[in-house]
Amino acid sequence: MIYDQRTYTCKPGQIAKQLALYEKYGFAPQTKNLGQPLLFAMTEIGDVNSYVHIWAYKDLAERDAKRAALMADPDWQTYLRESADAGHLVHQENTIRKSVPFINPS
């Protein structure tokens, strides 16, 4: 099992606007193509201008296939345009994580 952790940082005071934009345009096509995230959360303490989501895949091939389908989805392309036009995001960091051998993911 691999985990795609995606952290986004917004301009100060813009996180609520970015999340509203994502809810309106991005959530439906993303979950249609990727399934439900393991986690989608805002930061409560620390960098309060950031949010993170984590997606689980059986392997990199599954991730690649699902992300290719997402990128081909016209509704996702609409979200990407709306997000870019809004200009709320200033940084994105993606990491791929893998389970340690002594934990059996459920």
Establish if 105 belongs to a structural domain.
Answer: no
Establish if 106 belongs to a structural domain.
Answer: no
Cα atoms in the Cβ-side hemisphere of radius 13 Å centred on 93: 7
Establish if 102 belongs to a structural domain.
Answer: no
Residues 20-65 pLDDT 10s: 999 999 999 999 999 999 999 998 898 899 999 999 999 999 999 9
d(CA 99, CA 61): 16
**Total of domains in the chain:** 1
Q: Is the pTM of this model over 0.85?
A: yes
Residues 65-104 pLDDT 10s: 999 999 999 999 999 999 999 999 999 999 999 988 887 6
